[in-house]
Structure 1
Amino acid sequence: MRVLVGGGTGFIGTALVQLLKARGHEVTLISRKPGPDRITWDELARSGLPCCDAAVNLAGANILNPLRRWNEAFQKEVVSSRLETTQMLASTISKAPQPPKTWILVTGVAYYQPSLTAEYDEDSPGGDFDFFSNLVTKWEAAARLPGDYTRQVVVRSGVVLGRGGGAIGHMLLPFRLGLGGPIGSGRQFFPWIHISDLAGILAHALEARHVQGVLNGVAPAPTTTNAEFAQALGAALGRPAFIPLPTTVVQAIFGRERAIMMLEGQKVVPRRTLATGYQYSFPKLESALKAVVA
């Protein structure tokens, strides 16, 4: 299969590209910089979609980059890096003389409203109560194609755990020093997925023709709270994890609006993902964290 991947040089993209190549697929990246086996976004806008069997978009600025202040300029970058790339791919797909058979977009579980009691599956409502849920709604709308020639899949990802990047990259040092602990109250749900499983779900969605619509990209383990996650990460590292990160500190570092992503959470279940026949490599948190910190 010839697969076109937008944003394929990031943390998730690198894992996906490795897996697709290992499965014998041919991968072309869409990137800001030219290079071998890649085209630039400018080339895509100019020349249209190259011949491919499937397209995946993973592009988007890292929202939780602690080095970036949550100001108007960064908010615009977060929105445009998602919406513009998605709109461009959707537009070039719909105009292609031979459109790809499959089109996959990765968004986030921020679509669902944070709650300490509600449980969300792929059919649950959401998408219009804060900055991030509105962003996911617009992002998914930008990907929609007319007609049914191209099979369309949206994967709403939880927090991605993996070596060498993602959320865990910022957590490891304090936890290794014994300074880790729950964020805020620790009672908020923490929907997570191992990087191997997110790449696995995407490859499964590319290869299995019966898969379509929304899939929740979260682990099927009994839902985890932030405090339970902190305890499990401390245990995997053999370190205590009792020092909480107060709400006020999180808000000071990330800004009040962005801090919601860490201080509040959603109980999300991958009902449809499991129903499609995907089998998880890391369904439980303890084994996922052991693999990450090994």
Structure 2
Amino acid sequence: MRILITGGTGLIGRHLIERLHLTHEITVLTRDKSRAAERLPENVSLISSLTEIADFSTLDAIVNLAGEPIADNRWNAMQKRRICDSRWEITRELVSRIKTASQPPHTFLSGSAIGYYGRQGDTPVTEKNHQAHREFTHELCQKWENIALEASDVSRVCLLRTGIVLAKDEGALDKMTLPFKLGLGGKMGDGKQYMSWSHIEDMVKGIIFLLNEKDCEGPFNMTAPHPVTNKTFTSTLADVLHRPSFFTVPSFALKAAMGEAAEMLLTGQKVLPEKLQQAGFTFAHPDLEGALNAIFNA
């Protein structure tokens, strides 16, 4: 397949390209071609503007992973605007080009996140069984998804509702691991909030599965089938790293450091990948302990 990928230098994008570049023709949209060239395989084509693709009829599929990191900075009005625009604008541009192509790409996989659901407590959440809590992450993802779905009259659209993606020395897990390595690890707040996660291998396998399964469309929870509470996550991480887990990061400390963004860490969702499993996808790392051992002790 001829596949266009946005966000190709990010955690998920890089691992996805490693799996695809030998058997598919990959083009990556990037703001920094020199940096992308250092991080991606040599046979990947790099563009800095979608106008460099004259007609989207030359593409078979698009994987849209672009977006400003959501938890790297405090959420003021300007940062929220940046987070939204980095997702909405590129998705609008992609949809516009898809719809005006003489022969549109057959598949459009567009990013989203389990933040779509908002805080859910300990209620199990599936694509079909939920009542979203209206807050910033929900409004961000809802509009992001609605923009992508505008292409569904000409292309098959799948929405990738992503949770915490676990990979060694990268992403959220890298940030979580440092305190444990220093002997200062522990739960956040009361530790009762659920964390819905996926191993990077399953995240990539899931995207490739959706690229190839022509009957799959709509939203998909891209998370492992066994979400855990923050207390269980941190104690399991400590056991795998052979480090203590005695400390607690108080809620007030997180709120002081991160502001409104701390709510993502102190609330959560118990998300289940119902549609993905019903479609026949099998997880290589369905349980947290096995996933963490695969990352740190393989």
TM-score, normalized by length of structure 2?
0.92
Out of 289, 292, 295, the position equivalent to 1:292 is 295
Counterpart in the other structure of 1:98: 103
1:214 Cα deviation from its structure 2 partner: 1.2
Name the SS of the counterpart of 2:119 in structure 1.
coil
Give yes or no for the alignment of 1:59 onto 2:66: yes
Residue 104 of structure 1: SS of its match in structure 2? strand
Contact 1:128–1:134 under 8 Å retained in 2: no
2:49 is the counterpart of 1:41: yes
The alpha carbon displacement at 1:69 in A equals 3.2
Is residue 259 of structure 1 aligned with residue 259 of structure 2?
Answer: no
Query: Which residue of structure 1 lines up, in the alignment, with residue 276 of structure 2?
Result: 273
In structure 2, what is the Cα distance between the partners aligned to 1:125 and 1:235?
33
TM-align CA RMSD: 1.7
Residue 293 (structure 1) shift:
2.3
Give the Cα–Cα distance (whole angstroms) in 2 for the partners of residues 20 and 196 of structure 1.
13
Q: Which runs of 5+ in 1 are unaligned?
A: none
Q: How many percent of aligned residue pairs carry the same amino acid?
A: 36
Is 1:4 equivalent to 2:12 in the alignment?
no
1:98-145 CA deviation, whole Å, 9 max, x = no partner?
210000012111111323332110113445610110100000011113
Query: 2:95–2:151: 8 Å Cα contact kept in structure 1?
Result: no
Deviation of 1:88 after TM superposition, in Å, equals: 0.8
The answer (yes or no) to whether the contact 1:49–1:92 under 8 Å persists in 2 is yes
Aligned residue pairs, count:
288
In the alignment, which residue of structure 1 is the partner of 2:77? 72
Match of 1:31 in 2: 30
The counterpart of 2:237, out of the listed 233, 237, 247, is: 233
Q: Residue type matched to 2:239 in 1?
A: A
1:1-294 residue pairs with structure 2 within 5 A?
1-22=1-22, 24-34=23-33, 37-41=45-49, 43=51, 47=54, 49=56, 51-65=58-72, 68-127=73-132, 129-146=134-151, 148-221=153-226, 223-255=227-259, 257-294=260-297
The CA distance in 2 between the partners of 1:127 and 1:93, in whole Å, is 29
Retained in 2: the 8 A contact 1:116–1:188? yes
Q: Is 1:57–1:106's contact at 8 Å kept on the other side of the alignment?
A: yes
In the alignment, what sits opposite 2:40?
none
Cα shift at 1:281:
1.2
The 8 Å contact of residues 27 and 46 in structure 2, kept in 1 or not, is answered as yes
